Structure 1
Amino acid sequence: MDDFLKSKLGMKWILLLIFMMSISFILFCCHTGNSVYCRYQFGKLRFCSDTVDWGTIYLGRTYQKCLEIYNPDTMKIPLRIVNCISGIKVYHKSILAGPLLHEGINILVKSIDTLVFEFQPTDTNSLGTFKKEFILEVDHVLLFSHLLMQAQIQEEFDTIKNSSDYPQLSMSDNFWDFGTIQSGEKPCHLFKIRNEGNGNLIIRKIEASCGCTAVAPRERIILSGEETILKVQFDSFGKSGKQRKSINIFSNDPKNPIQEVLIQGEVEKF
């Protein structure tokens, strides 16, 4: 009987030991997996990504993204963000109501920490493709590699989409072919922008692709039935062959907030 009880007690201890070892193994795997997941090197620290990508977001709303950081060192490592980006605040996960990360935090030894990025775009000049970089200081060393913030920012029009008072952007044409261009030439084309709606049309922003210059219209507010001119210039210097460029016009037209204009040409070298 004693041997039987001892054997049962022994089995319980063995099972308990196996259970504890399993838990330890799982925790080890989780920790190791997360540290491997943080594979982007920033000085002595490793980040889970080198970019905070917000995707498509809207003016006036608030968005949050988290970023994990791993310290593989045997000493705690100080981290600080040097510059500011309008509309974006950075917090440590444990001090959301406390100071910004610009004052610096310490990433503890062999630990994974989390930064919280809060973005509230309010400036209409940020419409379209948003790309800004945070400059990092790790262990008191200013890094050459920066942390990228990117998003596609749009305006929201839910309140006026069904209203008869909204503006309506109309183009004389949204495509122009310059034909054959000699390298170094800078041909221009004038596009007419007309407001065929009932409300005032507001040109928020003009965004041109590389090698293309779009001069914003003198009249940013176009009354109902009126029009303005958008001047687009293509710089062919250093280019050859067929070229195709785009210009995006951001406005308060709720049904067409982003109007794309295309130009193209064949560049010949002397």
Structure 2
Amino acid sequence: MKRLISLKYVIVSILILIAIWQFAFTISDYSEALFPSPLMALQALVEMIADGTLIASIGASMYRFVIGYGLSVVIAVFLGLILGSLPRVFNYVNPTLQLLRPISPTAWMPFVVLLFGIGDLPAIVIIFIAAFFPVLLSTVSAVSKIDDIYFRVSDNFGIKQPALMWKVILPAAFPQIANAIHLALGSAWIFLVAGEMVGAQSGLGYQIIDARNNIRADILLATILVIGLIGLLLDFLIGLAEKRILKAWGGES
């Protein structure tokens, strides 16, 4: 599992990004209305915090993300553990998974909106799809690669299903599953924003579209920065959770 990013590196990296942004603004011939400076974006951020729109947008987006991503991970890991333990069944299921996996979640968006309309559900479905296949297939792969010695020892101690699944298979496969969960987090967060641009009337993705329609590039860039910072925070939190689980199961500390 990858190491958690040091706060020092995060701060320095963000400062470098802001410096490049300011330099580009200084030498650019674009109007400030189209390409605002970091200070203008910061002022827009303060404005959104003051009028409550930013908090409302973050709340709406996080609600959809937690439900969509959480359900996707739980269901994908559960099915992956079962299919990984039943390779003959997986051989029949795998072709269908490989057919659906390369389809971009945004390709499903028009169909999802037609089925469920505008609101929370389309974005939740898109998040679910974005995270589901990577976690499912990685879980199946992780289970299939477990050393046979785990099963021989379990058999000697009389450990049978379902205890075998939760006490042996899941802990042994978890490091690879954790990597997939980590990667799926970024994908799900990206497609949340994309889904909100089409199928929602609130949230950070909708706020970007609204700022574009009102020619408020300062709000648009401020919202993009907030999306990136939240993604970074989510990545850190899930990395911390994975590290503690691995430590509890005797993995890397």
Do the two structures share a fold, i.e. TM-score over 0.5?
no
TM-score after normalising by structure 2: 0.18
* Higher share in strand: 1
Structure number with greater CO (CA < 8 Å, separation at least 6) is 2
Richer in helix (by share) = 2
Normalised by the size of structure 1, how large is the TM-score?
Answer: 0.17
